Structure formats: C-alpha cells, structure tokens
C-alpha cells in the first residue's frame, strides 16, 4: 500500500515484547529510492537515543493503531551498536549494524573495488567508506521542482510503498502556480536531482502537468489511478518491471 511519509511519521514501533518508540525519519538510497533505514526515536524508553531499523526487520503496518511491528526484542534493540543521527552514517557502522542484526548487506559490490590500507585507523576507514548514497526524507521536503518551462512547486511529501519499501512518488505542492492543487511525480521521471541546489528537474511541460489526472490527497492512491497517471504521461509502470524502477 502507498502511504505518505508524513502519515507514517510518529507511528509507534512495536517490538515483540513492547513498544520502543516512534518513527522520526526515513533514510533512503539516492540511486534507487529504496528505504534503507527507519529512524526511531526511543523517547522515554531509552532517553536521548535514536536507533536505525532496516525494513528487513519490519512486519505489519497497522494504520488504525498507528503502529509498525518489528521482529526484534527490546533487548536486541537496546544492545545494538549506538548510532548518532546527527553525524554522517559510515559504512563501517552500517556493517556493524547489519552484522549484529543479521541483515543482508545491500551495498555488496558497490565498493568492491575500494581497497583500504590495513594500517588505517577506524576513523580513517569511516571517512573512506562513508556512504554518500543515503539521504533523509525529511531533508528533501521543500526542494523545488522544475518543469522544462518553469518552476511548478516544491516537495511537500512522499508516497512510500510499505510492502516493497520504496519511495514511489513525490507529492508536489503547486500553490504558487496552481493554487489549491497537488500533483504526483514518480521518482523515475526525474531527469536531474541536485541535493546541492535542493531541486529536481523533470522532463515535462507545465501544460502537460496541469492537464494530468487530478490527485486527491484525501483519497488512497489505488492502482487504477497510478495506471491512468502512467498512461497519461506515456511512462512505463514500475509494477510491471522486474526491477523496482
């Protein structure tokens, strides 16, 4: 099911033996837009601490109770390697997390050609192996979206697939162009994405976007609407592809 990230923000995380905290953020891979980690604020349970949980540990999303289950015990989470979300996440720390929990190494092969001298300190290895691919979903909110002939608005939210754990669409607020309207832009329609300039370029005209099938943020996005959107823009449907995008 497609859900907005803002909707999931604040959902409680339920371990096998009790609640551990609430969703604070999502870290995604900028190449594939796959969710790699859910950032959990442990609140009063472990004051001042945040933990990262992989989608591989996640179970059922209960919209009614606003909870997301995790196949982990509170003790397992408490004893996990400490994470400091204020700092860049190094692959060294990611490796420790994945080894501790037994999660698969999603980056396997990405740095296969990187050979580090054996006498390097752990800090130096962290710098060399730091993964620039991961981004915070909250940090992207507000980025400007440009059509081929002008600015159409800014990123207000994302639609996330909570079964495959991929971000599928940006929700773009067009208030300064089309007051009161929001439009969906699929991530694989983006021609250029600049984190430095805080903007994305899409290969569509403003006229084409204005005439697109109406998006109602108060309604669930069903497959029929997705199909009509992809047909209108003459774009391949991600759900028919072997790869996520």
131 and 145, same domain (yes or no): no
**In 3-state terms, what secondary structure has residue 89?**
coil
112 and 201, same domain (yes or no): no
* pLDDT tens series, the chain, 245 aa: 899 999 999 999 999 999 999 999 999 998 889 999 999 999 999 999 999 999 999 998 998 999 999 999 999 999 999 998 888 888 889 999 999 999 998 887 554 444 444 444 544 444 344 455 899 999 999 999 999 999 999 999 999 999 999 999 999 999 989 998 999 999 889 999 898 999 999 999 999 999 999 999 999 999 999 999 999 999 999 999 865 54
* 155, 143 contact by CB (below 8 A): yes
Q: What is the CATH number of the domain that holds 172?
A: 3.90.50.10
- Flag whether 205 is in a domain: yes
The residue segments making up the domain with residue 126 are 2-135
161 and 62, same domain (yes or no): no
205 and 122, same domain (yes or no): no
30 and 113, same domain (yes or no): yes
Please enumerate, as own/partner, the contacts of 150-158 that have beta carbons within 8 Å and a separation of 24 or more: 150/177, 150/206, 151/176, 151/177, 152/177, 152/183, 152/206, 152/209, 153/177, 153/178, 153/183, 155/200, 156/182, 157/4, 157/5, 157/6, 158/4, 158/5
- Flag whether 122 is in a domain: yes
28 and 42, same domain (yes or no): yes
- Flag whether 245 is in a domain: no
Angle of helix 122-129 relative to helix 91-101, nearest 10 degrees, comes to 100
Query: Which of 81, 111, 135 is a domain's end point?
Result: 135
- How many residues make up the chain in this entry? 245
Greatest pairwise CA separation for the chain in angstroms:
60
* 44, 19 contact by CB (below 8 A): no
* Rg of the chain over all Cα atoms, to the nearest angstrom: 19
23 and 37, same domain (yes or no): yes
Domain count, the chain: 2
CA pair distance 227, 115, nearest whole angstrom? 45
90 and 158, same domain (yes or no): no
């Amino acid at each position: 099911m497609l859900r907005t990230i803002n909707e999931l923000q604040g959902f409680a995380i339920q371990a096998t033996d009790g609640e551990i905290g609430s969703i604070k953020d999502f870290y995604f891979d900028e190449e594939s837009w796959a969710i790699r980690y859910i950032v959990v604020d442990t609140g009063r349970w472990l004051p001042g601490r945040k933990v990262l949980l992989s989608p591989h540990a996640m179970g059922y999303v209960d919209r009614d109770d606003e909870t997301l289950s995790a196949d982990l015990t509170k003790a397992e989470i408490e004893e996990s390697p400490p994470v400091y979300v204020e700092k860049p996440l190094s692959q060294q720390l990611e490796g420790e997390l994945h080894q501790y929990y037994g999660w698969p190494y999603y980056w396997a092969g990405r740095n296969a050609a990187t050979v580090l001298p054996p006498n390097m300190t752990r800090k130096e290895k962290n710098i060399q192996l730091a993964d620039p691919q991961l981004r915070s979903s909250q940090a992207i909110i507000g980025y400007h979206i440009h059509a081929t002939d002008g600015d159409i608005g800014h990123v207000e939210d994302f639609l996330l697939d909570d079964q495959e754990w991929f971000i599928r669409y940006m929700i773009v607020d067009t208030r300064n162009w089309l007051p009161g309207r929001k439009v969906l832009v699929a991530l694989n329609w983006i021609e250029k994405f600049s984190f430095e300039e805080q903007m994305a370029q899409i290969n569509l005209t403003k006229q084409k976007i204005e005439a697109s099938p109406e998006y109602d943020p108060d309604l669930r996005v069903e497959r029929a609407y997705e199909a009509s959107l992809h047909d209108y823009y003459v774009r391949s449907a991600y759900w028919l592809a072997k790869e996520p995008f």
